[in-house]
Structure 1
C-alpha cells in the first residue's frame, strides 16, 4: 500500500538510529526476531514465558509473593487482574487526571515565570507523581524521591567515564537505591499497614508480600511507568519542535488524533530495544527487536522510517504496533502513559513563544537497553502570574 503522497520515500525521521545501531545488543544466546508477525505470535504464544531482566532465573515457587512481571500463565492472569483496575479509563478520569492537571499547572506556571525549563526534569516530575499515586509511594517528598530514582535507574552515560568514574557512578546508584528503599518505600509501607489505601502497595501488603517483593515491584513500576514516560515525552516534543507542520497538526487536532501522532512517534522511536521470551520446552530465548518489527513494511506500510500520523488508519492497524508489547504481558499502563504525555505536550505547545533552546543529549542504557534523553532546555515568553495557555477539557482514552 502506498505511503502518504507528502512523504519523501527516502526520508528518515529517526533521532536515535545511530546510537541504537552502535549500542543495542540482545542478550547473549538469544535468537533475534525482526519480523512483526513472528514477534507478535511469540508474544501471544501460550508456550512462551517471560524472559529478560533475569526473569528466567527468578524463583517463582511462591506465586503470591512473586512480582507480576516474572509470572506467566494462570498465576500471571490472576495477579494481573488484581492490578487492572488501577489502569482503566475510569481510573484516569476519576483519579489520575486531577494529579496530572495539578502537576502540569505547577510546572507551566514556573516555566512562564522564569521563561526556562528542562523537559526531562519536568516530564519525570509528572511521571513520578502519577506512578507514585498508582503504587502508593505518596508519603515522602516527591522531588527527592524523583532524584533518588533518577540516579538509581540512569545508566546511559556510564560508558563515557574511566574506571574510577564508573566505580563512583555504580556506588552512587547503589546508595540511591538504598535511600529509595529506606526513605520512600519503607515509610510508605508503614503508612499503608496502618492506613490501607486503594493502591498497589496496599494490595501487596494485604497479600503478605515480603519487603523484597515490594521493593522489586516498586523498582519495576519506576522503570516502566516513570522512566519510559519521561523519555517518550521528551522524544515526542523533540520531533514536534523540529517539525513545525507536525506540531501545528498536533495542536489543532482533537484528542484521538493527538494520540495517533504520539503512537506514530513511539512506533518509530520505541523506548526499549528488546522484549524477551523463552520457549517452555526447548528453553530457547528470543529477543524481539521492537525497532525492526515496527519498521516491517508488510505491516506498517511504505516509508517506515518517516513519521506519518495517518499510517495506522491507512493500514488498519494498532497505532503503536508493538511498542507497548502484546499478549499477556502487554503494558498495563499504556493508556495512562499516553494520556499524561498528550496532556503535557498539548499544554507545552500552547505556551507563548515556546521554543527548544537546547536539543537533548542522547545516551544509551546498557542495563535497560533503551535510550535516554537529557538536558532538553525549552524557553518561552515570560508572563508573571499569568497562564501560559488556555485550559482544555480532557477525556481518557477509550
Structure 2
C-alpha cells in the first residue's frame, strides 16, 4: 500500500538528527521516551508557547503540563472512555450518519459531509448543542485560515504583517464561536448540567474564557482532525478492493483494527513538539541491532517528533511497515495506532470516539457501493502539523 499524505522534502532518516537547538526524532521508541518525560519537557506544539499564561485561570489541557494537567486529563478522560463512548454516542452516530447520507443523494463531497458529521457528534460530547451545526462547522473551519509559520524559529518566522493577520484570522473566528456556540451552551448548562465536558468544566470553576479555549481545543482535536481521517480512511478503502471487502464483512474489533492501521500509516497530526526544560536522556537502536545510542538534549532545545516515519519504524512495527496489517504484533505498551494519538501524559483521549465515529460512517457509506468521481487534493495545515483532504467526490449507490 502506498502512503498518500507524504510531504515533499521531509526525510524518513536518520532515526535521530540534531541541527542546532532542534532535534528531529523519527524512531518510535525514542519518540515514546521523549513523550513520557513528564517533568523534563513541556508542550511546544499547536503554538502552545505563544498563548498568554496570565489571561486564563486554567491553562488549556492540550497545552498544559504537570500535576494540574494530569488531574484535568484524568477528569475529562472519562467522557471518552470506550464504554462511555459506545453507550452514549453510538446511536447518535448512527442516526447522524444515516440522515446525512440520505440528504446527500447520489453524490457526496466526503470531506464536507465528514465535517458536519464529526462536528455534530463531538459537539454532543463537549456540550456545544445550542447552535446550528453547519454554522458552527464554518466557524471552526475559518479558524484554520492562518498565515504559515516555522515553529523552530523564535518568532515563528512571521513578519509583523503576518502576525497581525494571524491575530485577525484567529481572534475573530474565536469571538464568533464564543458568541454563537459557546456562550449559549454555558448558559444552558449553568442552569441544567449535563454529562458533557462543558458541564464538568463549569463544576470545576472554569471561567467562560477558560471554557472557550477548551472548546476551541476540542473543535480542532475532536472534530477537524477526525474529519481528515475519515476522508483518508475512505480513500484507502475505496482504492483497495480486497481491504474494502474485508472491512465490510468484519466484526467491529477487526474493523477498528483496520482503521487503527490506516491512521498508523496516515497520521493526521504529523509532528508533535516538546520543549526541553531540564536535561534528560533518551536512546535509539537500529532494527536487528543490540547497540543503542544515547542522546542528551539541553534545556531550551526543541524536539520535533516526526510521527510519519516513527509510525513506520520497523524496530517497533515489524515487517512490512507500509502495509495495512490489522492486529500486527507490537511491543508491550505500544498503541495499535502507534503514535498517531500521541503517548504519555498528552496521549489524545479521543481515540475511541474517533475510531468509532469513522467506523459508523464508513460502514454505511461503503455498504451502498461507491465510485470515485474526483480524488481529493492534499494540503497541509501548519497549526495541526498535518494533512488536509479537500474535494473528495464519491458517487454513492453503485452496488449491484
Q: Does 1:41 align with 2:57?
A: no
Q: Gaps (5+ residues) in structure 2?
A: 12-17, 150-160, 279-298
Q: What's the offset of the Cα at 1:293?
A: 0.7
Q: Does 1:363 align with 2:356?
A: no
Match of 1:196 in 2: 193
2:94 maps to which of 96, 101, 119? 101
2:119 maps to which of 112, 124, 128? 128
Query: CA 1:337–1:157 in structure 2 vs 1: closer, same or farther (change >3 Å)?
Result: same
Match of 2:329 in 1: 313
Q: What's the offset of the Cα at 1:321?
A: 0.7
2:339 maps to which of 294, 308, 322? 322
CA contact (8 A) 1:231 1:373 kept: yes
1:104-115 equivalences under 5 Å are 104-111=97-104, 114-115=105-106
Query: What secondary structure sits across from 2:372 in the alignment?
Result: strand
CA contact (8 A) 2:128 2:181 kept: yes
Q: What's the offset of the Cα at 1:33?
A: 0.9
Query: What secondary structure sits across from 1:261 in the alignment?
Result: helix
CA contact (8 A) 1:13 1:307 kept: no
Decide which moves more: 65-74 or 318-327: 65-74
Query: CA 1:71–1:207 in structure 2 vs 1: closer, same or farther (change >3 Å)?
Result: same
Higher helix content, 1 or 2: 1
Match of 2:144 in 1: 153
Query: What secondary structure sits across from 2:24 in the alignment?
Result: strand
Query: CA 1:156–1:233 in structure 2 vs 1: closer, same or farther (change >3 Å)?
Result: farther
Q: What's the offset of the Cα at 1:304?
A: 2.1
1:234 maps to which of 207, 231, 234? 231
Match of 2:82 in 1: 89
CA contact (8 A) 2:377 2:389 kept: yes
1:79 maps to which of 72, 79, 90? 72
Q: What's the offset of the Cα at 1:117?
A: 1.1
Summarize deviations over 1:59-79 as a string: whole Å, max 9, x none.
Answer: 657996222122222211211
Query: CA 1:131–1:27 in structure 2 vs 1: closer, same or farther (change >3 Å)?
Result: farther
Return the TM-score normalized by structure 1: 0.82
Match of 2:277 in 1: 280
Match of 1:15 in 2: 4
CA contact (8 A) 1:27 1:287 kept: no
Q: What's the offset of the Cα at 1:39?
A: 0.4
Match of 2:220 in 1: 223
Match of 1:32 in 2: 24
Query: What secondary structure sits across from 1:378 in the alignment?
Result: strand
Query: CA 1:172–1:116 in structure 2 vs 1: closer, same or farther (change >3 Å)?
Result: farther
Q: What's the offset of the Cα at 1:339?
A: 0.7
Query: What secondary structure sits across from 1:21 in the alignment?
Result: coil
Q: Does 1:372 align with 2:388?
A: yes
Query: What secondary structure sits across from 2:356 in the alignment?
Result: helix
Query: CA 1:156–1:315 in structure 2 vs 1: closer, same or farther (change >3 Å)?
Result: farther
Match of 1:394 in 2: none
Query: What secondary structure sits across from 1:364 in the alignment?
Result: strand
Q: Does 1:349 align with 2:338?
A: no
* Higher relative contact order (Cα pairs below 8 Å, separated by 6+ residues): 1
Query: What secondary structure sits across from 1:65 in the alignment?
Result: coil
Q: What's the offset of the Cα at 1:303?
A: 2.9
Whole-Å Cα distance in 1 between the matches of residues 385 and 20 of structure 2? 13
